[in-house]
Amino acid sequence: MPLLSLTNVQKSYGSHQVLAITDWQIEEGIYWIQGENGAGKSTLFRTLAGMLAHEGEIVLDERYSLRRQPVEYRLRLNLGEAEPLYPAFLTPADLLAFVGEAQQSPAGQMKYLTEVLGINYLDQPLGGCSSGMVKKLSLALAFLGRPRLIILDEPLITIDQEARAALFALIKAYRAEGVSFLLSSHQPFAPSDLPITAGYALRNRTLVPWQP
């Protein structure tokens, strides 16, 4: 049963078409998406997260259409952006509380995520946090709630080895609970890092099986 189906999905900025995906489906698993700079990965992920207007049909779990059941769909699909930007005066505690409520985070989940990812600067305004500290927070936010699919755009940029190991452990733990992942990276993941189900490349505005 497909977890995510895209049919005739198109996205343009003005006259510049970035996505033209006729038919693409994935089942549960951990997927890796590669793309050259400017290929459209962030545009694809923001489209899947419902942040950009698009043409075509995007359906999760054969039931939740982004267009027709937007609330149910968004509760089940989380996005961690490549280069997250937050207002400088907010703290990690503020954002975790806000996103946690919106995503209906179960009791204890925020504490678990902040401990695993080493977010021990909960009350420090983000304007005074390093890019790695902001990135780790954005990753924690992407795991909140009870998602079916978590999309992480360039999850490894700016984070250190310890956070990378913690993130991979978290991905495996969530995967064991039935959560699927779409990850982008300019570099392929080593098989020892993560059990990747399949890789795709974003080329010529569409997704094709990845080949080295």
CB closer to ligand ATP out of 20 and 116: 20
Helix axes 109-116, 92-102, angle to 10 degrees: 130
CB of 18 to ligand ATP, least distance (A): 4
Which residue from 149, 10, 171 is spatially nearest to 79, judged by alpha carbons?
A: 149
Which residue from 111, 106, 117, 86 is spatially nearest to 147, judged by alpha carbons?
A: 106
Q: Measure the CA dihedral 56/3/138/85, to 10°.
A: 0
Are 160 and 87 in contact by the 8 Å Cβ rule? The answer is no
CB of 176 to ligand ATP, least distance (A): 29
CB closer to ligand ATP out of 37 and 211: 37
CB of 5 to ligand ATP, least distance (A): 21
CB closer to ligand ATP out of 20 and 82: 82
CB of 187 to ligand ATP, least distance (A): 12
Are 198 and 29 in contact by the 8 Å Cβ rule? The answer is yes
Binding site for ligand ATP (CB under 6 A): 13, 18, 35, 37-43, 82
CB closer to ligand ATP out of 32 and 121: 32
